Structure 1
Amino acid sequence: MPIETPGAIAESPWRLPRAAWIQVLKRVFMMAGFHNLNLLAGGVAFFTFLAITPLIASTVMIYGLIGDVSMVERQMNALVEVLPSDAATLIEAQLLAVVTTSSGVTGLALLIALAFAIYGGMRAASGLIKALNVINEEKETRGIIKITARAALLTLCAIGIALVGIVSGSVFTWLQTQTSILIGSRVESLFSLLTWGFAIALGSLGFAVIMRFGPDRARAQWRWLTPGAVLATLLFIAVSFGFSLYVAYISDYNATYGSLSAIVVFLMWLFLSAYAILLGALVNAEAERQTLQDSTIGPEAPLGERGAVLADSTVLRGHALAVQEKKRRREMERLARKSARNSNN
């Protein structure tokens, strides 16, 4: 990549100039089609759909040792404001079923049930790992044991972040209620802003962890993962709100799908959410490709020896040449067809 390329010497994505980000976004648009991002998101959504009940069960078995039906209803009140109503209804039904079933499970039986629940929840992490390998243009070289351990680690991280979100949400809600009584509505609004700020920070951290430890490559530096993680979080919130409004006021899924409407809405929400996450990962990938600087952890390494396709920025030159070669072939084919038509005439 020539040194004149915008952002070639940037040591952080936040130091990329506007011209560099324009190039990054153009490649994101092109690579979304090249990687079939919609198909990847559909696969991740399907695996997440299969894993959602075990994931809920894992979370409830840890936090739900003190959980009951009233606790579930209180937590669902917050989710209903964000998720489509049909999706929230499905999740609430699963939560209530898990709380009711696991309330009498203790000791060794609880550990066994938790292990099976975590194993079932690993489907979502496994799907994300495969999709992130495609986006990072990496081939999977890890053995089955390492991949399973990595999927289990990411699943446990997701459960841990969910637990932190639930506990912190409850704390912020309690503080918001108390301060509104003692001090006034202005402080209540402040705590609402703090709640959303903490939620965005927590979501960004979770997505950054997935993007760093999921793909089979040398780990990227945290700062090169920040833009895509924040974007994925904001898109996830926007998708949840926007799709909720779409389902409520524009589309009539009940008329089209009947009794399957709740499942269809839930799957569509999972698909849009997965697309938002993968789009954030793609932004990180193309931003990392923009610089000549080593974006991986550890000592500075020369190009070609960094252990990651995206960090070895000569791939950008190779990618650009490949695109140019494709355009050249198409132009030659077009001229050949034109020449053939002229000769026939």
Structure 2
Amino acid sequence: MQVHAAEGTPPRRPGRWHRARALYAEVSKRRVLWLLVKDTFDACMEYRVTGLAAEAAFFVLMSLPPLLLGLVGALGYLDTALGGHTIDHIRQNILTASGTVLSDKGVNQLVRPLVDTVFRRGRPDIISVGFVIALWSGSRAVNVFVDTITIMYGLEGRRGIIRTRLLSFGLYVVALVVGAVVLPLLVAGPDAVVGWIPHSAGAVRVLYWPVVLVLSIAFLTTLYHVSVPVRSPWLEDVPGALVALLMWVLGSFLLRIYLTHTVEGPTIYGSLAAPVAVLLWIGVSAFAVLVGAAVNAAIDRVWPSLATATAREERARANEAAAAEVVARAAARRAGRRYGETAGESAQEDEDDEDDGEDDGSADEGEPPSEFPERWAGFLPPDDVRSRLRKHHEPGGRGKRKPEQEGGTEDGTPPGGKSVDGDEDDQ
């Protein structure tokens, strides 16, 4: 039996950087890089990235107190599992953190009794209400990211409101889980991990920051990937995640310098210094995420994937069809107005003939009604519009002139003894 060699493997789809450019086809690579930066800046200005970052920061900050309160309420049921020493340590940390925001009187009269009650016997009402408020406001913040990313890609309206909110809710739950792992690692540093696994101290110190970096990039890439209504390769969203992470590190560094000189120590913010600092940090983080999304959108417009290019073409065709429908309606209204003016001129000629004594028995058409173009011209043929216009002004119809408009008598008889249809008045 003779074995024939395969004719060839199917060609792999080219990566993003090997595709033909949809934009800037005749521009050098260096020039394309500058144009990508310019497009990113234009997108940030057009879609109000700073304002949307402030909106997301507000909802995230609003979700933190009920979320923390719900977690505290859950800890009241874990006293046996965690141990009394751990619970007391957490309780003291909460009171200390509250003292940075509230006065001593507020801590002693509000926070301390509530925390003692929650830790002693648990509070299911606090857990349920706190988590509901936290999940709503937190998912609302994620919804800002999802909506903005979708609009930046030019695919707004492709995903419904319910699907968008469900997606935002799911992403927020995932963010809580990832944040519960990553944020403590970022704050504690490798020394805390070495305390858990002291026999691998060398490997932990070497791999600590690369692992944290990879987890952060993976989460941001996943956020960008699932926010776009159509599916594209996951790796193509990595550039935006890298830019967002770099901007977050730079923004956090600059924010720390700013807070050191404005918030720490004696400050005009007073007891609001800590919430203001948290709000600013969340705002910087949200701004970095949105800028990364703008970078991905700008790159996708130059080297689009098949899914996003097809979706944008479908949306462009739908927009053209909607625009053509609007133009057709406007043309119909203009034609109706022109036809109404012609009918009005004919009616004026009939009135002139009546004044000259040339009574042909036709009804007086008068001026066209004010609702003529909108209510009739859009769905009636011209002949039907004409007949309806005549019927509108027949004696006894709803368009009959009022006597005071012509200075006539109370029974509708115009001056001079001639009726509306041209007959002489009975004396």
**Do they fold alike, i.e. is TM over 0.5?**
yes
Select which of 48, 51, 63 maps to 1:39. 51
Select which of 176, 184, 190 maps to 2:194. 176
The aligned counterpart of 1:118 is 135
The aligned counterpart of 1:235 is 247
CA contact (8 A) 1:59 1:162 kept: no
The aligned counterpart of 2:34 is 22
The reply on whether 1:197 has 2:245 as its aligned counterpart is no
CA contact (8 A) 1:224 1:295 kept: no
Structure 1 unaligned regions, length at least 5: 1-5, 11-15, 77-85, 297-302, 313-345
- Structure 1 letter corresponding to 2:136: Y
Select which of 289, 292, 304 maps to 2:310. 304
Map 1:11-160 → 2, pairs under 5 A: 19-57=31-69, 65=78, 66=82, 68=87, 70=89, 103=119, 104-105=121-122, 114-160=131-177
The reply on whether 1:207 has 2:250 as its aligned counterpart is no
Higher Rg: 2
State the secondary structure of the residue aligned to 1:304: helix
Counterpart-to-counterpart distance in 1, 2:113 and 2:171: 25
- Structure 1 letter corresponding to 2:151: V
Deviation at 1:121, TM superposition (A): 2.6
Counterpart-to-counterpart distance in 1, 2:305 and 2:215: 28
Select which of 300, 311, 318 maps to 1:288. 300
CA contact (8 A) 1:44 1:131 kept: no
CA contact (8 A) 1:48 1:270 kept: yes
The aligned counterpart of 1:269 is 281
- Structure 1 letter corresponding to 2:143: S
Counterpart-to-counterpart distance in 2, 1:97 and 1:277: 39
Counterpart-to-counterpart distance in 1, 2:67 and 2:89: 20
Distance 1:97 1:40, change over 3 A: farther
Distance 1:252 1:155, change over 3 A: closer
CA contact (8 A) 1:68 1:99 kept: no
Q: CA RMSD in A?
A: 4.4
Structure 2 unaligned regions, length at least 5: 1-16, 22-27, 102-106, 318-427
Counterpart-to-counterpart distance in 2, 1:267 and 1:132: 22
CA contact (8 A) 1:55 1:121 kept: no
Select which of 229, 246, 251 maps to 2:262. 251
Counterpart-to-counterpart distance in 2, 1:150 and 1:183: 39
Deviation at 1:289, TM superposition (A): 1.3
- Structure 2 letter corresponding to 1:277: V
State the secondary structure of the residue aligned to 1:138: coil
**TM-score, normalised with respect to structure 2:** 0.52
Deviation at 1:225, TM superposition (A): 0.9
CA contact (8 A) 1:57 1:98 kept: no
Counterpart-to-counterpart distance in 2, 1:99 and 1:309: 54
Counterpart-to-counterpart distance in 1, 2:91 and 2:205: 21
Deviation at 1:62, TM superposition (A): 7.3
Counterpart-to-counterpart distance in 2, 1:261 and 1:109: 27
**TM-score, normalised with respect to structure 1:** 0.62
Residue-by-residue CA offset, 1:86-120 (whole Å, 9 max, x unaligned): 99x66xx9x99998675443889856754554234
Counterpart-to-counterpart distance in 2, 1:38 and 1:281: 13
